[in-house]
Chain A
Amino acid sequence: MPGSASLELVCPAGGLPALKAAVDNGADCVYAGFRDDTNARNFTGLNFDDAQLREGVRYAHDRGAKVLIALNTYPQADNWARWTAAVDKAADFGVDAVILADPGLMDYARRAHPELRLHLSVQGSATSYEAINFYRERFDIQRAVLPRVLSMAQVEQVVKNTPVEIEVFGFGGLCVMVEGRCALSAYATGTSPNCNGACSPGKAVRWEQTPQGVETRLAGILIDRFQEGERAGYPTICKGRFDVDDETYYAIEEPASLNTLKLLPELINVGVRAIKIEGRQRSPAYVAQVTKIWRDAIDACARDLVHFEPKAAWMADLNKVSEGQSYTLGAYNRPWK
């Protein structure tokens, strides 16, 4: 019988201070990456060197929290050894699981470190139980993170048909494209989430005040233009305004965050085992605040699942840190689609 006691809260740690903030505020797990392109948040100033990771694992383990290491980009022949070395390093540091997307790397991890828990990254683009069971049979993965594309009924169908634990995104930036299947950034900038671990890298971004307003450009391409009073978003292509059939609008998606707080009882009821909070690029203060709210909410659910209602104060505080100060239920809510 699924229950909230088995629901893990998985929080982002872009660095050691964020890791501590997550652990101190009630995260069951934190996820982190090494300081290079072996993970999908390969941004300047983020991630862990060896000393920080050693300290982070000690800090988390001393307080009963787990550390997961994301190695969720796709290695190539000429850099393969760096990815396998990262798996070795994660195992040596005593992390609780590695989050992988590449089947070749999973096979390596399973053979080199049979005791190491493997999680299938959202970058693996597995949206059906058939796909998840493939990874289970071949590499003995213990958990899969679902891309943010399924409705609640579809999530339930996946959970019912696989022994693999299912983790879903609960809060944070919303990737509207199926992760692992998006080459928009690569098309414009040559830097890709799949191979380089970065979407819309900072070096390709430009903000410019012009007579028409503030323009945001990516590799010279105009992604959006903002009038006074409008909040300028980071120029990811999927959240730009474009002209289609003579209408200019957010052709793909408005800048908004995912917030599934009010779906928490349903997620627990269908047997989801872990909720992921997005945001390794966000500040320790953000991580502390969001973690605390979700901890409180999960605990409230555990006390009384039937009568759970998100507190207005939680929603207000989460909205304050959301992209565009607005939120969506994403694909869980069928009309969104």
Chain B
Amino acid sequence: MKISLGPLQYYWPKRQTLDFYETVAAMPVDIVYVGETVCSRRHELRLEDWLDVANRLIQAGKEVRVSTLTLVESESDLKALRREVNNGRFGVEANEMGAVRLLAEAKLPFVAGPTLNVFNPETLRLLAEAGATRWVMPPEAGRETLAGIRAHLPAGMETEALAFGRLPLAYSARCFTARRFNLQKDTCEFKCIDYPEGMMAKTREGQPFLVINGIQTQSAKTYNLLPDLPGLAAAGVDILRISPQPEGTAEVVAAFRGRGTLSGDFCNGFWHGQPGLEWIQA
């Protein structure tokens, strides 16, 4: 199986982001997704900067894709989307149907991202007709969903699954990081740059439960399918996606390459058709 590094979910200072992708160039990953997928106000790296990162990664032998915004709201979001679609060099991961339309119109092959909600073979067939050559399973889909789709997989379609990282659980019009500081989204002071792993939200009993990351809500637990690798391979997953974290990403990649183990507060319920936060022994 190939290993991919998913798009960066957090807002890091430009220097930190560039340094991180410098280390990624040396990591044993096959595919890297670059670009901003969570919040259009995050501008530490502009598209040109992301394309520079992409060029550097290509030189390091990686396949690179540009990932698009998940929640497109404004005309300026659409302008940014059009620039990404027409970047002229790198394939695109489409994270909403507007991107799919633009890519289909331009007759460009694309990756059907995890938020397109592909749960059945008919929908995947339609996306294949529109130009999708790879689909990323929705986070809540598990091996049963995959089995149902694999039986009717369009020719040449690759399958990618999130294998490690906090689960991206929800997206909103509101920015919850701004809300924490009683700020509005439009004047958020870019507070999320101070939280390179998001802000932990605990229950009133002190149980870590969610992570607030701008307009995105993540799981506090880290989804970890390392013990499920045999099952993933048997189910026909082609690509394992690892989500970037500020610390330890290289160790995670190494573990998925069979070198080393991982420790932490893990969950894998979705893969097994259970509540996402559960941990099922493989």
- Of the 9-residue stretches B49-57, B93-101, B257-265, which lies at the interface with chain A? B93-101
Q: Assess whether B24 is interfacial by the CB under 8 Å rule.
A: no
Query: Who on chain A is nearest to B185 by CB?
Result: A337
Q: Assess whether A283 is interfacial by the CB under 8 Å rule.
A: no
- Of the 9-residue stretches B6-14, B146-154, B240-248, which lies at the interface with chain A? B146-154
The residues in A between 312 and 337 inclusive whose CB is less than 8 angstroms from any CB of B are: 330-331, 334-337
Measured between alpha carbons, how far is A220 from B134 in the docked complex, in Å?
Answer: 38
Measured between alpha carbons, how far is A97 from B76 in the docked complex, in Å?
Answer: 33
Measured between alpha carbons, how far is A74 from B141 in the docked complex, in Å?
Answer: 11
CB distance from A144 to the nearest CB of B (A): 11
- Asked if B96 contacts A125 (CB within 8 A), the reply is yes
Given contacts A104-B120, A243-B206, are A181 and B115 in contact (CB under 8 A)? yes
Q: Assess whether B174 is interfacial by the CB under 8 Å rule.
A: yes
Query: How many positions in chain B have a CB within 8 Å of any CB in the partner chain?
Result: 74
Residues of chain B within 8 A (CB-CB) of A248 are: 204
Measured between alpha carbons, how far is A247 from B179 in the docked complex, in Å?
Answer: 12
Chain A, residues 80-123, CB within 8 Å of chain B (1/0): the string is 10000000000000000000011111011000000000000000
- Of the 9-residue stretches B28-36, B65-73, B230-238, which lies at the interface with chain A? B65-73
CB distance from B68 to the nearest CB of A (A): 11
- Asked if A177 contacts B217 (CB within 8 A), the reply is yes
The residues in B between 185 and 213 inclusive whose CB is less than 8 angstroms from any CB of A are: 185-186, 199-207, 209-210, 212
Query: Who on chain B is nearest to A248 by CB?
Result: B204
Give the contacting residue for B184; candidates A103, A133, A148, A335; CB below 8 A: A335
Q: Assess whether A289 is interfacial by the CB under 8 Å rule.
A: no
Give the contacting residue for B117; candidates A128, A180, A186, A221; CB below 8 A: A180
Residues of chain B within 8 A (CB-CB) of A126 are: 96-98
Q: Assess whether A183 is interfacial by the CB under 8 Å rule.
A: yes
Measured between alpha carbons, how far is A125 from B212 in the docked complex, in Å?
Answer: 21
CB distance from B149 to the nearest CB of A (A): 6
Measured between alpha carbons, how far is A245 from B177 in the docked complex, in Å?
Answer: 11
Residues of chain A within 8 A (CB-CB) of B77 are: 128
Residues of chain B within 8 A (CB-CB) of A105 are: 122
- Asked if B204 contacts A188 (CB within 8 A), the reply is no
Measured between alpha carbons, how far is A134 from B74 in the docked complex, in Å?
Answer: 17
Q: Assess whether B111 is interfacial by the CB under 8 Å rule.
A: no
Query: Who on chain A is nearest to B195 by CB?
Result: A245
Given contacts A128-B77, A157-B75, A243-B206, are A251 and B201 in contact (CB under 8 A)? yes
Residues of chain B within 8 A (CB-CB) of A131 are: 72, 96-98, 100-101
Chain B, residues 98-127, CB within 8 Å of chain A (1/0): the string is 111110100000000001010111111111
- Asked if A190 contacts B269 (CB within 8 A), the reply is yes
The residues in B between 156 and 202 inclusive whose CB is less than 8 angstroms from any CB of A are: 167, 169-176, 179-180, 184-186, 199-202
Residues of chain B within 8 A (CB-CB) of A245 are: 180, 199
- Asked if B138 contacts A252 (CB within 8 A), the reply is no
Residues of chain B within 8 A (CB-CB) of A133 are: 101
- Asked if B126 contacts A138 (CB within 8 A), the reply is yes
- Asked if A243 contacts B275 (CB within 8 A), the reply is no
Give the contacting residue for A194; candidates B119, B184, B185; CB below 8 A: B119
Measured between alpha carbons, how far is A289 from B88 in the docked complex, in Å?
Answer: 56
Residues of chain B within 8 A (CB-CB) of A252 are: 172, 174, 176, 179, 217
Residues of chain A within 8 A (CB-CB) of B205 are: 222
Residues of chain A within 8 A (CB-CB) of B44 are: none
Measured between alpha carbons, how far is A125 from B97 in the docked complex, in Å?
Answer: 9
Chain A, residues 156-171, CB within 8 Å of chain B (1/0): the string is 0100000000000000
The residues in A between 286 and 302 inclusive whose CB is less than 8 angstroms from any CB of B are: none
Measured between alpha carbons, how far is A127 from B201 in the docked complex, in Å?
Answer: 28
- Asked if B202 contacts A243 (CB within 8 A), the reply is yes
Pull 15 A–B residue pairs with CB atoms less than 8 Å apart, ordered by A.
Answer: A76-B119, A107-B126, A128-B72, A128-B73, A133-B101, A135-B97, A177-B170, A177-B217, A178-B173, A182-B169, A183-B167, A184-B210, A190-B274, A194-B119, A330-B173
| In the A-B complex, the 6 residue pairs with the closest CB atoms | A77-B148, A104-B122, A130-B98, A149-B173, A134-B101, A104-B123
Given A127-B96, A178-B172, A251-B210; 8 other pairs, CB 8 A cutoff: A75-B120, A77-B121, A77-B147, A131-B96, A178-B173, A190-B275, A221-B209, A244-B202
